[in-house]
Amino acid sequence: MTKDPQGLPGFDAALARGLTSRRMSRRDMIKLGGISVGTLSAATILAACSGDSGGTSGGTQPAGSVNFDPTTASDHVNFSNWPLYIDKAHGTYPSLEKFTNETSITVSYKDEINDNASFFGEILPQLRAGQDTGRDIIVITNGEYLAALIANGWATELDPAFRPNFDKNAASWAKSPFYDEGNRHTMAWQSGITGIGYNTELVVKPPTKLDDLMSTDFFPPSSVGVLKEDAPNLVMINLGIDPKSSQQPEWDQAADWLTKLRDSETFYNAYDQGYVDDLNAKNLSGTMAWSGDVLYYKIWGGKPYEFIKPADGGLLWIDNMLIPANSANPAGALQLMDFYYSPANAQMLTEYILYMSPVPAVQDLIAKHAAAETGEYAVQLKETAENPLLWPDQELLSQVSLGRNLTTDEESKAWHATFDPIWEQ
């Protein structure tokens, strides 16, 4: 018997020999040919078996079949959200604790959503199978995936009778957005702007326009980042195009601009979401970024960061709460959603996460809170109350725009075919 090399766990001579022993003769190859034919036949049989008709999947709940009466709510809600998107103190969530105290409904909070596309993919199999996704509230940005959820009947229709706070306190931009008439499926969580975030200590010169991202007069070589999902809309806005009504020719213009950026000296990498880490690690001097992220690290993290809306316009987006189909506790979920439209609760959020609140009354509350506090905390609160990015006036609102909504397969495929290959060179 051959001597195996000693003491190699798992890998040993037997394995190596097993890998190298002879396997197939010519006869076997011919047999295989037959099997391949059989495979394709099996595939066609599978096609016959699959049994679902085309069109939207099972699991659609007809409107009105879900009971939102709070008295019927069971005692637990699963809330899935993006990271850094809720108030946090010493490992607990003060606003959620307050909710539990008021309603006796416990909340499991998971910040598991890192980008719309991947998260959509994670819950897609359950939605298609008509199963409970295990989440009662999820937060999705306006755009293709939100549209797909609504179009396929996977977003539970909300009963307007049970959201008093929303009706009373919501900002005008949060009511009846163009992608969800009458808020039949969604209620805004927060809004924000995509612009340019940069490290004041690393840039050559502070940028003002989107084109500056390509220029070594402003940024050192290999230090600029791009947000893949937002970039097309942001670029179109800065080229003077209204993304909401854009078509293929405009998309091509934006694609050309992005290709130029990708090939320029300053370009470093394109991100789904993880630019923050590279920014903190000083691999990036500047990047397309979300306002709240940059402000969070600037105000609470003390980092030398700045966020600007590019001179020719910023991209406005709205993150929306919705209840996925077949949720176990839609009544409780709607209660929680409406809870955050009470100004006191919305204040708890905004004081921590620095995004645009859909409850305008919060601004005064924060200002009063700042006046009542002292020291550095007061300064930070005052900054929060006065930051124009959080409380957009008409002028700012006119300089930002929502992005393109993709609502058909042709549009979706054409969009992806135009923009995705830029980052897959």
Partner 1 sequence: MSTAVVEDVVTIPEAPIRTPRRRWTRFILPVFTIAMILYLAFPVLVMIVYSFNIIPNTGESERQTTEFHCCTIVHWQEIFKVPELNHALAISLTVAFPAALIATGLGTFVGLVLGRYRFRGRALTNFVIFLAIAVPEIVLGSSLLALFVQLGSTKPLGLYVPLGYWSILLSHIAFSIAFVAITVRARVQGLDQSMENAAQDLFANPRVAFFKVTLPIILPGIVAGFLLALVLSLDDFVITNFVKGSSSTFPTWVFGATRLGVPPQVNVWGTVLFLAGVFAAGLQILRARGADD
Partner 2 sequence: MSQAPAEVEGHIPEGMELPPARQGERALARRRRTAAYIQLAPGGIYMILGFVLPLIIIVYTSLSTAGLFTTGGRSVFSWEWSNYTTALSSYGDIYLRSLLYAGIATAVCLGLAYPMAYWIAFYGGRWKSTLFMLILVPFFVSFVIRTVQWNFILGSNGLIFGPLKSLGLVPQDYTVLRTPVAVIAGITYNFMPFAALPLYVSLERIDRRLVEAAKDLYASKAIAFRKVVLPLSFPGIFAAIILVFVPATGDYVNSVVLGSPRTTMIGQVIQDFFLVRHEYPVAAALSVILMLGMLVIAVIYARVLGTEDSTLAAATA
Give the contacts of 334 (CB within 8 A, at least 6 positions apart).
Answer: 68, 70, 158, 159, 162, 163, 323
Tokens (6 digits) for 272: 């789904």
The nearest distance, CB 292 to partner 1, in angstroms, is 14
Binding partner of 31, given partner 1, partner 2, none, CB within 5-8 angstroms per partner class: partner 1
46: contact with partner 2 by CB under 8 A: yes
223 binds, among partner 2, partner 1, none (CB under 5 to 8 A by kind): partner 2
Separation CA 325–CA 146 (nearest Å): 13
Residue 88, Cβ density class (10 Å: 0-12 exposed, 13-18 middle, ≥19 buried): middle
User: What does DSSP assign to residue 92?
Assistant: B
Q: Is 23 in the site for partner 1 (CB under 8 A)?
A: yes
Distances (CA, A) of 83 to 113, 232, 278: 7, 23, 16
Strand residues in 4-124 grouped as ranges (E): 76-80, 106-110
Q: Tokens 């003060």 map to which residue?
A: 94
Taking contact as CB under 8 A, which single stretch among the options 155-163, 214-222, 231-239, 313-321 is the one that binds partner 2?
214-222
Residue from 353, 366, 363 nearest 392 by CA: 363
- Could you tell me which residues come within 8 angstroms of residue 351 by beta carbon, excluding any fewer than 6 positions away? 87, 366, 369, 381, 384
Token code pair at residue 249 = 């020719």
Stretch that binds partner 1, among 126-134, 154-162, 189-197, 397-405 (CB under 8 A): 126-134
Residue ranges in 121-150 that form contacts with partner 2 under rule CB under 8 A = 121, 124, 127-128, 144, 147-148
Copy the structure tokens of residue 375. Answer: 């020291």
Question: Using the rule CB under 8 A, which residue among 84, 117, 367, 396 binds partner 2?
Answer: 117
Degrees (nearest 5) of the Cα angle 411, 416, 422?
145
Q: Which is nearer to partner 1, 24 or 372 (CB)?
A: 24
Which residues 362-391 are close enough to bind partner 1 by CB under 8 A? none
Residue 327 CB, shortest distance to partner 1, in Å, is 15
Residue 36 interacts with partner 1 (CB under 8 A): yes or no = no
Binding-site ranges for partner 2 (CB under 8 A): 1-2, 5-8, 11-13, 16-17, 19-24, 39-40, 42-44, 46-47, 50, 52, 54-57, 115, 117-118, 120-121, 124, 127-128, 144, 147-148, 151-152, 220-223, 262, 267-270, 272, 281-283, 407-409, 412-413, 416-417, 420-425
Binding-site ranges for partner 1 (CB under 8 A): 1-2, 4, 6-19, 21, 23-25, 27-28, 31-32, 35, 46, 49-52, 57-58, 83-84, 88-91, 112, 114, 119, 122-126, 128-129, 131, 272-274, 276-277, 280-282, 297, 300-302
